[in-house]
Amino acid sequence: MEINIKLQEPRLIKVQSFSDDRGLLIPFTDHIDHALFHRCYLVENYGRGVIRGLHYHKLEAKIFTIASGAGKFITFKLPEELADRNNPEEIRQFAQDHPETVQTWVLSNRHHGVLYIPPFYANGWVSLENHTVLTSLSNLRYEEALGDDIRIAPYLIGKHHWEVVGR
């Protein structure tokens, strides 16, 4: 399995889709150890530019794929003690001093992929299109995940990470 509980860093895997005259099929869980997830849920952002996150988890691992639309995902490797204190200035300074701890990923329904985010990474996403629908898998049930959520203001890592840059 390409995605399993032993992974310690975020990983994006490309997923092959199969299409014919009826539509398409995307077997997005074929490369995931099924013992890893206990919950599946959908999130829809109604508008372009809606940000969700940053959320930091010590226990929860997440797996994301886009069902419709497109999203830009952020992962931020934040030391546990900084997340626990959740001091905005301390987090901002850490992100500035350690830019390598922030990674971005783009997923869409046109280029199918699955993004795995292990515990100890803050994560969030911004919709790049109206009515973007995210499919998410988690290793924790909803009730378990409630106590494992540290909220971090998204712009503490730098507003530029959330923007689409012209090239």
Range 129-136 average pLDDT:
98
Whether 81 maps to a domain, the answer reads yes
Residues 6+ apart with CB under 8 A from 152: 53, 54, 55, 56, 76, 78, 83, 86, 91, 122
Q: What is the mean pLDDT of the chain?
A: 96
SS3 string, 17-77, reads CEEECCEEECCCCCCECHHHCCEEEEEEECCCCCEEEEEECCCCCEEEEEEECEEEEEEEE
For residue 127, being part of any structural domain is answered with: yes
- 1-11 average pLDDT score: 91
Predicted local confidence at residue 1, as pLDDT? 75
% of the chain beyond a pLDDT of 90 = 92
Classify residue 150: in a domain, yes or no. Answer: yes
Residue 143 lies in a domain: yes
131 in a structural domain: yes
Q: For residue range 36-83, what is the model confidence (pLDDT) as tens digits?
A: 999 999 999 999 999 999 999 999 999 999 999 999 999 999 999 999
Confidence of residue 5 (pLDDT cuts 50, 70, 90): confident
Question: Given this model, what pLDDT does residue 72 score?
Answer: 98
134 within domain boundaries: yes
Q: Which has more confidence, 1 or 74?
A: 74
Q: Which pLDDT does position 24 carry in this prediction?
A: 86
Q: For the domain that residue 45 is a member of, what is the CATH number?
A: 2.60.120.10
Please check whether residue 165 lies inside any domain of the structure: no
Range of the domain at 72: 31-158
- 14-24 pLDDT, tens digit per residue, is 999 999 999 98
* Number of domains the chain contains: 1
